[in-house]
Structure 1
Amino acid sequence: MLGGTEFVGRAVTEDALARGWDVTVFHRGTHTPPPGTTVLHGDRTAPDGLAALAHGEWDLVVDTWSGAPSAVRDTARLLAGRAGHYTYISSCSVYPYPHAPGYTEDDPVVDGSPDDGGDVDYPRAKRGGELAAVAAFGDRALLGRAGLILGPYENIGRLPWWLNRIARGGPVLAPGPRHLGLQYIDARDLARWVLDAAGRGLGGPYNLISPPGHTTMGELLEACVRVTGSDAELRWTDPETILAAGIRPWTDLPVWITPGEDHDTMHRTDTFKTHAAGLRCRPVTETVADTWEWLRNIGGTAPRRPDRPAPGLDPETEAKVLGGGADG
């Protein structure tokens, strides 16, 4: 496991350990990996940073890297003759934005290069990582194009923000319409599918996300109210009112995107191929409940990646909009 100490990587590591597999975690040493792993330290961005991987053989490799593709290139090349299979956790962001709803793995993707180093934008970085994995492993490379990822250990802060906001109670600005369909994947469902698929030797790209409409904005936020046990009152507000207040979808109100082209791009991905290959997605109530339990166990403050902005709406703006009587 390249990484394996945070969010998706941790979910993969824990799933592999639960299967009784021998797991080696290669990471920088800034976080503690799950107990029971063999630990190797290294920094993929540093000279000689892969030295700890110079020896050894592995059946499967899982890589969650989202930085410069050259790091994937160097790692995959180093392991190609000593590993049986390579899974790269990519992203649906490799498809050009915006795109029509229902896009499949055969649709066009953005340009990318495995030789890109330094700062490249996220879609190009993920596409470059894909190309690097395929160049080294060929049809032994599995490309898991994930969408929105939620669940315990989330270090972006989207679902944790909603849970903490709703736990505080009172009137809550709930972005409508409440029936707006959402498409995401619980990190644990991603992990289970990846390890199953890698074990079967699957290769090539797979859109790794729930079916469109797996849940709705209403179901998500109502689940947050139930699991936190708060007295929160969801004030469903129409998108026009929210946008007129200068509130940014996705960033200020995590997960939510206004209906239309942006929403269709994020929440209407074709997933037939992945589900035919065995993906099963747990209900949103379970994802929300388990994330809340994890949050409480760590004191309520979720870890956050330093390269991502903190999501969430400031209380003053929320109060101003709610005070205006907008209701959807």
Structure 2
Amino acid sequence: MPHLPRRHVLAAGFGAAALPAWAQGASSAPPRPMHLLILGGTGFVGPHQVRYALSRGHKVTLFNRGRRPKEWPAEVEELTGDRDTNDYASLKGRRFDVCIDNPSAVPHWVRDAAAVLKSNVAHHLFISTVSVYADNAQVGADESAERERYTGPDRFAETMASLRKNMALYGPLKAACEDEVIAQYGAAHSAIVRPGLIVGPGDETDRFTYWPLRVQRGGPTLVPPRTDPVRLIDARDLAEWTIRLAEARATGAYNALGPTGNLTMGEMLDTLRSALGSKAEWVEASAEWLEKEKVSAWGDLPVWIPGQGETAGFHRRSNARAVAAGLTFRPLADTGRDTVAWWQGLDEKRRTAPLRAGLAPAREAELLQRLRG
């Protein structure tokens, strides 16, 4: 859940440009193959980007530390380096049509990569986050909303280690990264993508995964207010759309949020129950009761953020600009089924360990007992 301090706005004139028709749908082929550089590429979203880019005829080069090798359906060039130590030697002198930066969360990563790349890359696409926004109370806020401001002594001195020690810096540092992208590459050669909750097969956070697994288990299930809103995006939809943005040399900022219309917790749960053939029974608790029982939103009951007060707009941000630029969404039922199938393919140690998000079964049973009597 984002932090909510000071505010600033993105560089003036950084608006979203209209995309050509061929770039607005997955069924339309790009006009020509590109050479894509993906910084990262082996985490959650990256492998989906790689496979989709290959399917559309592009050449793909990855740059990372080489610690998570993957098998690809076609040739992928893999360069190694270390952004913590400013090791970009393998990129020097290389030219690319587009660079997609998936992992940068500290500004010196953006600055140091640009020292090597900005003269050798025609376009830069930065994956940011909706956590850059300073205010989550406004319903329908778009990409022009004020962002958090880094107020520490030196944004370039912040490291991934310092971020892990103080996650309240996440939003301000991501906003500072956005600013550095524009400073280095220019607004006419950059795009900023701000996802919210990314879900689906490969999600190691277990935030969304908790719900299909819990629904599949069935029985009385503790749920938050079912009318509260939800926004999420399947990692595959995000990945494929970023490749199409890269093909179109899109500029501007985009809230990468789904679905197209409004979705509530109740609709999400009902969809998962139907898709998984479950007989789960919803036992709904009010936000006030959950707070009294110290059941946290986002952590104990993942995905859920109260739809009132200072978080009323968190799951109600506008995604109109992204949808107009061709962002599409697969059915939530498919995401739920595919997530369960992915989970069932993991090794036994991972599947039998406690989930990284959500209520433990014993804790949920205690809460259900108190709630019901």
Confirm or deny: 8 A CA contact 1:56 1:82 kept in the other structure: yes
Paired position in structure 2 for 1:166: 215
Please name the residue that 2:85 is paired with.
Answer: 46
Q: How does 1:1-328 map to 2 (within 5 A)?
A: 1-35=38-72, 36=74, 37-47=76-86, 49-112=87-150, 115-118=156-159, 119-120=162-163, 121-138=169-186, 139-176=188-225, 178-210=226-258, 213-299=261-347, 310-326=356-372
2:314 is paired with a residue of what secondary structure? helix
CA-based RMSD of the aligned residues comes to: 2.3
Instruction: Tell me the matched-pair count.
Output: 320
SS in 2 for 1:159: coil
Change (3 A) 1:100 1:116: farther
Matches of 1:116 and 1:194, distance apart in 2:
29
Task: Provide the secondary structure at the position in 2 that maps to 1:274.
Answer: helix
| Helix, strand or coil at the partner of 2:125 | strand
Q: Pick which of 110-119 and 97-106 moved more.
A: 110-119
Shift of 1:213: 4.9
Relative to structure 1, the CA distance from residue 292 to residue 200 in structure 2 (aligned partners, 3 Å threshold; closer, same or farther) is: same
Measure the CA separation in 2 of the matches of 1:254 and 1:91.
18
The residue that corresponds to 1:306 in the other structure is: none
Cα offsets for 1:95-117 (capped at 9, x unmatched)? 11334111112222222486352
CA distance in 2, matches of 1:213, 1:264: 17
What amino acid does structure 1 have at the position aligned with 2:127?
Answer: I
Distance in 1 of aligned mates of 2:218 and 2:310:
30
Cα deviation 1:250-288 (Å, max 9, x = unaligned): 111100112303442320101222211111122211211
Task: Using structure 2 for the length normalisation, give the TM-score.
Answer: 0.79
Structure 1 residues 162-209: Cα deviation after superposition (integer angstroms, max 9, x where no partner):
223333333221212x23221121111111221112211111211111
Distance 1:272 1:202 in 2: 15
Q: Is the 8 A contact 1:167 1:230 kept in 2?
A: yes
% of aligned pairs identical? 34
Secondary structure of 1:100's counterpart equals coil
Give the deviation of 1:63 after TM superposition. Answer: 0.7
Q: Specify whether residues 226 and 126 from structure 1 end up closer, same or farther in structure 2 by C-alpha distance, changes over 3 A only.
A: same
By relative contact order (CA 8 Å, sep 6+), the higher-ranking structure is: 2
Give the AA of the match of 1:95. Y
* CA 1:204–1:69: 2 relative to 1, 3 Å: same
Q: CA contact under 8 A between 1:25 and 1:33: conserved in structure 2?
A: no
Distance 1:249 1:135 in 2: 36
Q: Which stretch shifts more, 157-166 or 125-134?
A: 157-166
SS where residue 68 of structure 2 aligns?
Answer: coil
Counterpart-to-counterpart distance in 2, 1:168 and 1:189: 27
Q: Distance in 1 between matches of 2:54 and 2:242?
A: 14
Aligned to 2:7: none
Deviation at 1:59, TM superposition (A): 1.0
1:72–1:114 CA contact under 8 A, matched in 2: no
CA contact (8 A) 2:194 2:255 kept: yes
Unaligned runs of 5+ in 2: 1-37, 164-168
Distance 1:7 1:26 in 2: 15
Cα distance change of structure 1 residues 237 and 217 upon mapping to structure 2, 3 Å threshold: same
1:85 is paired with a residue of what secondary structure? strand
- Does the Cα contact within 8 Å between 2:110 and 2:180 map onto a contact in 1? yes
Report the 3-state secondary structure (helix = DSSP H, G, I; strand = E; otherwise coil) of the residue aligned with 1:81: coil
Q: Are the structure 2 counterparts of residues 175 and 213 from structure 1 closer, same or farther at C-alpha, using a change threshold of 3 Å?
A: farther
Contact persistence 1:102–1:270 (CA under 8 A)? yes
